[in-house]
Amino acid sequence: MDRPLLNRRLAEFGTTIFAEMSALAVRTGSINLGQGFPDADGPEEVREAAVRALRDGRGNQYPPGPGIPELRTAVTAHQERFYGHLGLSYDPDTEVLVTAGATEAIAASLLALVEPGDEVIALEPYYDSYAACIAMAGGQRVPVTLRAQPESGSYRLDLDELRDAVTDDTRLILLNTPHNPTGTVLSREELAEIARLACERNLLVITDEVYEHLVFEGEHLPLASFPGMRERTLTISSAGKTFSFTGWKVGWVTAPPELIAAVRSAKQFLTYVSAGPFQYAVAEALALPDSYFTGLRDDLRAKRDVLSAGLAGAGFQVFRPTGTYFITTDIRPLGAVLSKEGDGFAFCRALPERAGVVAIPNAVFYDHKDQGAPFVRFAFCKSVDVLEEAAGRLKALADTP
Ligand code: PMP
Ligand code: GLN
């Protein structure tokens, strides 16, 4: 057995950074601002809906492959409610597929649509499962780097770079807005340009919009609503982030029937189905009044402001997110010693012991590791007390002579 056990396609993907850092948080008893999960569960009535489904025997046996009709209908009603004014609507029977979280939706979409050798463009830094799933599908990932703009504390997509990245082998663009880990929300102009490019070059687009309800300034614009895009776009979302039940793993894809049929072919051999009773609960969650969605956003906006101020006060340069529940920081202003020479990996591995806080090094989300080296991500989906305590610990670290 001189051959490595893990196959060549997955050799570079050992353990996810989230698992590594959450284990470190448990081992050291640190505040975990690494892995993005809320420290409070979502609405009680949604939890109760899951309990009711379990007790009533709904979903305890295999649900239908595409998802229960109640959830598919709830997904389309949600699209209509929030994006109907942009002309976006879907048919619950042929244009929705329920998946095991957005993670399976991403995996199944790539496995269904990518031939070995096809190029897949993804915005770098990219969510870690993108790289692994492109590899599993035998595709070639082509990163287009979102550039940090220290002056404005934001990130910018270079549209010329994106245009130049498209070749005759490009099969699809894998987009994510609001963007994890940078908190960037692509603008109307950027999305319009991406749409133009996709149409011009006849590309498919998978757009990961799991943070659709976490936009703090402006509004979320689904890429599928742009001219020429509905027919070529697969839109992915999930209940994890919107309803604060990340452990339920209920996600969905909306797309035209041919694309849904293709993704379903891959999905049926991954999990076939999942989360039966939770699907009933998420159907009810999607019908919560508008005030739930705005309340979630307003609450997280306030938490963003608390943690941004705390991190800035501790000496980090803060890239102020306009969406998601993550803040990216540059550690270099902390100085060479404290910032471990600007090495985000070394910084994050040492931080739990030094300060009792866990964060994620953004370099894991880059092919161009040098571009991501000094950036570190903190999650703010935690109670204000926890965020203030974490900020205090970081400030104490910074103040250590
Ligand atoms: N995409 C992005 C951008 C994410 O941040 C996450 C983590 N929630 C996922 C996909 C995975 O979502 P889920 O937990 O629903 O599988
Ligand atoms: N999406 C979460 C994050 O970015 C983590 C999900 C996971 O652990 N795979 O932090």
Predicted confidence at residue 398, as pLDDT, reads: 84
Q: Is 57 exposed, middle or buried (0-12, 13-18, 19+ CB in 10 A)?
A: exposed
Q: Which ligand 1 atom minimizes the distance to the CA of 251?
A: 15
- Reply yes or no on whether the pLDDT at 2 is more than 90: no
115 with 243, same domain: the answer is yes
Rounded CA gap, 283 and 309, in Å? Answer: 37
In a 3-state reduction of DSSP, which class is residue 123?
Answer: strand
Indicate whether residue 35 lines ligand 2 (CB < 6 A): yes
Indicate whether residue 22 lines ligand 2 (CB < 6 A): no
- Tens-digit pLDDT profile for residues 228-264: 999 999 999 999 999 999 999 999 999 999 999 999 9
Cis peptide before 125 (omega within 30 of 0): yes
The H or E element that residue 141 is part of is: strand 140-149
Q: Which of 287, 303, 333 is the last residue of a domain?
A: 287
Q: Is residue 145 part of a domain?
A: yes
Ligand 1 center–CA 245 separation, angstroms: 12
Rounded CA gap, 7 and 240, in Å? Answer: 30
Q: Which of 287, 310, 329 is the last residue of a domain?
A: 287
60 with 149, same domain: the answer is yes
259 with 328, same domain: the answer is no
CA nearest neighbour of 300 among 363, 233, 242: 242
144 with 102, same domain: the answer is yes
**Contacts from 22-28 at CB under 8 Å and sequence distance 24+?**
22/358, 24/349, 24/352, 24/358, 25/352, 25/358, 27/352, 28/352, 28/353, 28/356, 28/358
233 with 143, same domain: the answer is yes
- Reply yes or no on whether the pLDDT at 1 is more than 70: no
Ligand 2 center–CA 9 separation, angstroms: 21
Residues 6+ away with beta carbon under 8 Å from 331: 316, 338, 339, 340, 342, 344, 347, 374, 375, 376
Rounded CA gap, 259 and 25, in Å? Answer: 40
Ligand nearest to the CA of 109: 1
Q: Is residue 176 part of a domain?
A: yes
Provide the pLDDT confidence category of residue 16 given band limits of 50, 70 and 90: confident
- The CATH number given to whatever domain includes residue 238 is 3.40.640.10
Residues 6+ away with beta carbon under 8 Å from 167: 119
248 with 328, same domain: the answer is no
Q: Give whole-number Cα distances, 370 to 57, 328, 366, in Å.
A: 53, 16, 8
What does the chain come to in residues? Answer: 401
Indicate whether residue 179 lines ligand 1 (CB < 6 A): no
Q: Is residue 1 part of a domain?
A: no
Averaged pLDDT of the chain? 96
Indicate whether residue 34 lines ligand 2 (CB < 6 A): no
Rounded (5°) CA angle 388-389-390: 90
- Tens-digit pLDDT profile for residues 306-357: 999 999 999 999 999 999 999 999 999 999 989 899 999 999 999 999 999 9
Percentage of the chain modeled with pLDDT above 70 = 100
- Tens-digit pLDDT profile for residues 146-180: 999 999 989 999 999 999 999 999 999 999 999 99
339 with 244, same domain: the answer is no
CA 347 from centroid of its chain's CA atoms: 23
Indicate whether residue 102 lines ligand 1 (CB < 6 A): yes
Rounded CA gap, 364 and 362, in Å? Answer: 5
Q: Which of 262, 287, 312 is the last residue of a domain?
A: 287
- Tens-digit pLDDT profile for residues 179-208: 999 999 999 999 999 999 999 999 999 999
Q: Is residue 342 part of a domain?
A: yes
98 with 136, same domain: the answer is yes
Rounded CA gap, 182 and 153, in Å? Answer: 10
Which is higher by pLDDT, 218 or 192? 192
The pair of three-digit structure tokens given for residue 309, joined into one six-digit string: 């101020």
Q: Is residue 129 part of a domain?
A: yes
Q: Which domain holds residue 60?
A: 44-287
In a 3-state reduction of DSSP, which class is residue 287?
Answer: coil
Ligand 2 center–CA 222 separation, angstroms: 22
Rounded CA gap, 354 and 398, in Å? Answer: 10
The H or E element that residue 6 is part of is: none
Predicted confidence at residue 14, as pLDDT, reads: 82
Q: Which ligand 1 atom minimizes the distance to the CA of 100?
A: 16
Q: How many domains does the chain have?
A: 2
Ligand 2 center–CA 182 separation, angstroms: 14
Predicted confidence at residue 351, as pLDDT, reads: 95
Q: Is residue 2 part of a domain?
A: no
Rounded CA gap, 399 and 385, in Å? Answer: 21
- Reply yes or no on whether the pLDDT at 305 is more than 70: yes
Ligand nearest to the CA of 20: 2
Q: Is residue 393 part of a domain?
A: yes
Which is higher by pLDDT, 121 or 9? 121
Q: Which ligand 2 atom minimizes the distance to the CA of 180?
A: 4
257 with 361, same domain: the answer is no
Q: Per-residue b/e over 275-301, b at no fewer than 16 CB within 10 Å?
A: bbbbbbbbbbbbebeeebbeebbeebb
Rounded CA gap, 108 and 106, in Å? Answer: 6
- The CATH number given to whatever domain includes residue 38 is 3.90.1150.10
363 with 250, same domain: the answer is no
Q: Give whole-number Cα distances, 220 to 5, 31, 295, 339, in Å.
A: 43, 30, 16, 35
- Reply yes or no on whether the pLDDT at 401 is more than 80: no
> DSSP letters of 156-205?
EE-HHHHHHH--TTEEEEEEESSPTTT-----HHHHHHHHHHHHHTT-EE
Atom 3, ligand 1: residue with shortest CA distance:
180
252 with 333, same domain: the answer is no
107 with 162, same domain: the answer is yes
Other residues' Cβ atoms within 10 Å of the Cβ of residue 128? 17
Q: Is residue 35 part of a domain?
A: yes
